[in-house]
Chains A and B, each alone.
Chain A
Amino acid sequence: MTTSVLYDAPGPRTRRRVLLGSAVAGVLLAGVLALVGNRLAEKGQFDQDKWAPLTDPSSDDFVDVWNLLGDALVNTLVAAALAMAFSLVIGTGLAVLRITAGRSWRWLVVGVIELFRGIPVVILIFFAARVLPGLGVDLPNLWFLVIGLTAYNSVIIAEIVRAGVNSLPKGQREAAESLGLRRGQVLSVILLPQAFRAMLPALISQLVVVLKDTSLGFIISYEETVRTAGIIIQNLGNPIQVYFVIAVIFIAVNYAVSRLAIYVERRLSQGKKTATATLSATDPAGAGTGGGG
């Protein structure tokens, strides 16, 4: 612990106490891990036949399992990329609408944004798959997932974009207007490019939310990673092992993306020439994304 507001730099007696605390905590932790490991071993969860399809290249199922998982990962990434791309376009459009809207109909834009922010994303995905076919829109499951994710994330991104534009110094807009640029030009040439720069960390963090939410595709039988895991488990009967591998993959990818967001945030705040504040990667615009999906 480098600096904490809570306590002074420890003296010799406190250091002994911390050492004692560490020992006790370490023993407790080891005890819990040993207990859980022991229980799992008793149930045969470390048996070779449960792990071999995932870890042993000489196993009969190894190639099939990883081919399936590979396809599933690609499906996950495709859904996330499409949803993120559409959300960016629609979200920016919504933000521009909200900023430029006249008083008479701004409430409509705000209403739409608040409405979609309040609906669980899983409901949007589920009912995209149930309602749209009834309206004659017949698409592969991928698109229902993408539509559901886009409906939810575009309003979040709209709020991030708006916060980005609002974070710019007032002088930017005033200078642009005094040069005689029209409203649309002020936004597209002056404000949005700077706002996107400030928003980049928050947008990258939102990608983590989208990646996690693609796993909801299993509800509508889109063969992304979690759904495919279910299929593998039905055949091999090793749920804990398969979900462990899936969890490791997700954590690795999402952790890397979050680190990237933090790195970009640091880079932007280092090379800052104007007084634009970057939006924090950990709390994107306070858009209420905490724990999203």
Chain B
Amino acid sequence: MNVIIDNFPLYVSGFLQTLRICAFAAIGALLIGTVIAGFRVSPVPPLRWVGTAWVTVFRNCPLTVVLFFCAFGLPEIGVNGAYFWFGVTGLVLYTSAFVCEAVRSGINSVPAGQAEAARAVGLTFSQSLSSVVLPQALRTVVPPLGSVIIAMIKNSAIAGAFGIGGDLFAVGDTLTSARGEAALPVLIGVVVGYLVITIPSGLGLAWLERKVAIAR
């Protein structure tokens, strides 16, 4: 167990890097995923096609392949940047497909009568969306969206394994291969690092789920 104590600062920096990756990726994925969900429910056919294609591609493609595409493909079309950002981009693209489906199923879960009633009492499109449909949709979206983000936190380890550098996975890799430490104690340290994020998030999510649940 001395490995963990001796390398505690390294673990902390890895933990913070993981948090950094997740923060950027979560913001990006939520934004893009919501936009794509908007595409998928929009009345404009080409936008719907883009949304469907986006979801089909990124949901069925392994994250590793998406990451390789970002690393090799983006420089070819003139997008250059640090490796960190390629990793984050891959994570954003992949997660956005799952965010989109969560948001879309939330919108679809609002009974049609709600919007019909809103229009019947004379609310405009934006009024019925903002004061009737979305408040109900967002509540239904919270639990699946939370699961998607927790899965994304775990997937950030793949971006780390892929060579983004400095995160919890990379710490485990460095300690076991470069410094030849015994793997099991190193593993325990890394796992605790992830559990500190994922288990409280899961508990918080369960609490939020009960809090916002609507009895239908």
Binding site for B on A (CB under 8 A): 1, 3-8, 10, 14, 18, 21-22, 25-26, 29, 35-36, 39-40, 43, 45, 114-115, 117-123, 126-127, 130-131, 134, 208, 212-213, 215-216, 218-219, 226, 229, 239-240, 243, 246-247, 250-251, 254-255, 258, 282-283, 286, 288-293
B111 CB contact (under 8 Å) in A5, A117, A240, A246: A5
Is B50 a contact of A126 with CB atoms below 8 Å?
Answer: no
Residue B30 at the chain A interface, CB threshold 8 Å: no
Q: Which residues of A contact B184 (CB under 8 A)?
A: 131, 134
Assembled-state Cα–Cα distance A10/B125 (Å): 13
Binding site for A on B (CB under 8 A): 41, 43-48, 50, 56-57, 59-65, 68-69, 72-73, 76-78, 94-95, 98, 101-102, 105, 107-108, 110-112, 114-116, 119, 125, 129, 133, 143-144, 147-148, 150-152, 154-158, 161, 169, 172-173, 176, 182-184, 187, 190-191, 194-195, 198-199, 202
A291 CB contact (under 8 Å) in B47, B151, B194: B151
Q: Which residues of A contact B111 (CB under 8 A)?
A: 5
Is B114 a contact of A5 with CB atoms below 8 Å?
Answer: yes
Is A215 a contact of B62 with CB atoms below 8 Å?
Answer: yes
Is B195 a contact of A25 with CB atoms below 8 Å?
Answer: no
B155 CB contact (under 8 Å) in A130, A215, A293: A293
Q: Which residues of B contact A1 (CB under 8 A)?
A: 41, 43, 48
Report the number of A-B residue pairs with Cβ-Cβ less than 8 Å. Answer: 187
> Could you name 12 residue pairs across A and B whose Cβ atoms are closer than 8 Å?
A5-B108, A18-B44, A120-B169, A123-B157, A123-B194, A130-B176, A134-B183, A219-B161, A229-B68, A254-B59, A255-B56, A282-B101
